[in-house]
């Protein structure tokens, strides 16, 4: 046996001894029984610990420190409890020292029900108060409950739109937003010093390594440490997003709420609340894709439960075509994202799936152009890779538009800062189908966004128009904003090479400025570069933190000349965009080591 094999075996056996899950223990023992450990994935399972990153954890389920499993959940929750207790002992900025209260919920993925019980058990066992959603719920409902109940934190067991083999662990802070530095860094450090998930007996002379207390949840309920959430929280959530809709929607215009709508939760947890919200708002012709209505963590009818992926919305589009639906709404499995498709008029032209940028532009324009919104000190927040179109619209309406790093933890942090400055932040959005309307929920919310999109479509339908007509009107006033992204293989030297030898031209266009987000400035440092071209186009390159690829985002604006057909302007913009994409591929391929 090699030294490496011996070390790997030792780490695996220690993990087995401290694991709380007999099935996971057996899984590792079966791998250890193999004659050649190098032929197994055991080394990868123990290649460090699953990183506590973007607001929490996300990874493939399986046994081992580098997988998503009960032992990892228990140790992470212990670290969260320690961090919250430390904060309570130090006193919050408001001076309160109450026992921390945590909201806990989960989606319907495989093992989510087990993980969420472990979370509640560890928090309750640590002396914290817990409000537990025992039934699967959308992520936005948990985020809402944190803010609504004034809790110290929230935990959602979810992997959002990842494939079926994934699960995750998302944490909210006491402001209801995803945690950000330094709070996430404190939790990560606490994980490093967490004891084994269960007690390990070392022998009479060596004593016992203390494991993590994990009482039965029912016993914690009897002791008053865990309360099971009732329907009152869902009712309050529905009322809050309807109040946001009532405040922001244009009530001076008639609405046709009889428009046929098709909805799909993609086997996720959005159906109950989305259907309720639309029904209570007066929409009378909503049809849910029947084979995707019930939660199912296997996602049997889709290859990838992400509505951005080609083919994922095919069943919804087919049903919409068969029933003559004018609008299609789709949530991802935890209902924090929203995808939209629209039927053209006449309907024989079929349905078109809108991009995330198009939905964000429609929402932003509708909210900014509202008469009530113009009377306020208004703002919108987008990410550095979202379309610049909303910034142009906001400027014309006298509103503020801020850009943040990608991710809603940054969008909502900036939103909170702007609110402290007296701004009414109408919308936060990023191009990856994430939208936050108002501030009832401090995260992306596919259910609230779905209601606003439906109401906008109903207003346009009363005028004999569709969301596509609204996009045309926006393009005619502010120009055609064309956006696209591509993924390329990432080499270890790609970003360094782009910084040391940046291109002077991309295709036929000179590079006139470069923004290096790693240098910091008004935004936290991030490994991303933006190339600004002579004719106004922008190209952003950002390596993925979890996959061996980089994402490249392209944005440009093409003005619509007087009497120029809009179709011709769009064709020109898309042609120029295609040329830039090919030119950027050539730039990346020419780097040392390639892209």
Which residues are designated catalytic?
Answer: 160
β-bridge partners, 551: 487, 542
- The Cα–Cα gap between 104 and 171 comes to 9
CA angle 183, 187, 193 (to 5 degrees): 150
DSSP H or E segment with residue 34: none
DSSP string, 337-405: BEEEEEE-SSGGG-EEEPPHHHHHHHHHHHHHHSHHHHTS-EEEEEETTS-THHHHHHHHTT-EEEEE-
The two three-digit tokens of residue 129, written as one number: 């108060």
The two three-digit tokens of residue 131, written as one number: 């409000």
Sheet bearing 351-353, strands edge to edge: 286-288, 261-264, 327-331, 338-343, 351-353
CA angle 86, 87, 93 (to 5 degrees): 155
- The Cα–Cα gap between 293 and 295 comes to 7
H-assigned helices in 183-326: 183-192, 217-222, 231-248, 271-280, 314-323
| Contact between 111 and 167 (Cβ < 8 Å) | yes
Tell me the CA distances in angstroms from 504 to 122, 271, 281, 582, 595, one per residue in order. Answer: 56, 50, 54, 16, 18
β-bridge partners, 170: 56, 156
- The Cα–Cα gap between 316 and 579 comes to 33
| Contact between 27 and 63 (Cβ < 8 Å) | yes
The two three-digit tokens of residue 482, written as one number: 């064309």
Task: Output b/e per residue, 319-341; b: 16+ Cβ within 10 A.
Answer: bbeeeebbbbbbbbbbbbbbbbb
């Amino acid at each position: 046996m090699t030294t490496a094999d011996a070390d790997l075996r030792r780490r695996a056996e220690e993990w087995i001894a401290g694991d709380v899950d007999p099935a996971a223990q057996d899984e590792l023992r079966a791998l250890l029984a193999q004659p050649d450990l190098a032929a197994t994935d055991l080394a990868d399972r123990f290649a460090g610990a699953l990183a506590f990153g973007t607001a929490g954890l996300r990874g493939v389920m399986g046994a081992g420190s580098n997988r998503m499993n009960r032992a990892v959940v228990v140790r992470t929750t212990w670290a969260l409890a320690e961090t919250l207790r430390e904060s309570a002992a130090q006193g919050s900025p408001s001076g309160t020292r109450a026992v921390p209260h945590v909201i806990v919920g989960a989606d319907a993925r495989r093992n989510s029900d087990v993980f969420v019980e472990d979370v509640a058990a560890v928090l309750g066992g640590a002396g914290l108060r817990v409000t537990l959603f025992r039934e699967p719920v959308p992520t936005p409902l948990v985020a809402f409950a944190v803010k609504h109940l004034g809790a110290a934190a929230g935990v959602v067991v979810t992997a959002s739109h990842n494939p079926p083999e994934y699960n995750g662990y998302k944490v909210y802070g006491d402001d209801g937003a995803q945690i950000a530095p330094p709070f996430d860094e404190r939790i990560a450090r606490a994980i490093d010093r967490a004891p084994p998930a269960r007690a390990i007996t070392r022998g009479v002379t060596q004593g016992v390594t203390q494991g993590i207390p994990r009482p039965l949840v029912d016993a914690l309920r009897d002791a008053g440490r865990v309360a099971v959430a009732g329907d009152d929280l869902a009712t309050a959530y529905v009322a809050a997003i309807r109040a946001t809709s009532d405040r922001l929607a244009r009530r001076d215009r008639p609405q046709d709420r009889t428009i046929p709508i098709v909805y799909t939760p993609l086997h996720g947890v959005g159906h109950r609340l989305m259907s309720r919200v639309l029904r209570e708002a007066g929409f009378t012709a909503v049809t849910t894709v029947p084979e995707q209505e019930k939660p199912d963590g296997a996602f049997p009818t889709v290859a990838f439960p992400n509505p951005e992926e080609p083919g994922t919305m095919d069943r919804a589009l087919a049903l919409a075509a068969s029933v003559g639906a004018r609008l299609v709404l789709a949530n991802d499995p935890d209902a924090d994202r929203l995808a939209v498709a629209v039927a053209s008029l006449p309907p024989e032209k079929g349905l078109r799936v809108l991009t995330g940028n198009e939905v964000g532009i429609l929402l932003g324009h509708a909210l900014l152009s509202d008469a009530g919104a113009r009377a306020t000190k208004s703002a919108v927040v987008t990410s550095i890779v979202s379309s610049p179109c909303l910034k142009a619209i906001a400027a014309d309406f006298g509103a503020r538009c801020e850009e943040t790093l990608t991710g809603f933890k940054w969008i909502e942090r900036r939103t909170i800062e702007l609110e402290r400055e007296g701004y009414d932040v109408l919308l936060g959005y990023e191009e990856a189908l994430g939208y936050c309307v108002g501030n009832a929920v401090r995260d992306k919310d596919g259910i609230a966004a779905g209601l606003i999109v439906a109401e906008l479509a109903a207003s346009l339908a009363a005028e004999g128009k569709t969301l596509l007509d609204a996009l045309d009107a926006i393009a005619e006033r502010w120009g055609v904003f064309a956006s696209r992204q591509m993924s390329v293989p990432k080499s270890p030297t790609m970003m360094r090479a782009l910084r040391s030898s940046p291109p002077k031209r991309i295709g036929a266009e000179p590079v006139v400025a470069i923004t290096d987000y790693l240098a910091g400035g008004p935004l936290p440092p991030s490994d991303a570069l933006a190339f600004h071209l002579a004719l106004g186009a922008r190209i952003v390159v950002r390596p993925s933190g979890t996959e061996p690829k980089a994402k490249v985002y392209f944005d440009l604006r093409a003005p619509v000349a007087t009497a120029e057909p809009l179709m011709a302007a769009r064709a020109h913009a898309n042609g120029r965009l295609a040329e830039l994409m090919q030119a950027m591929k050539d730039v990346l391929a020419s780097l040392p080591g390639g892209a």
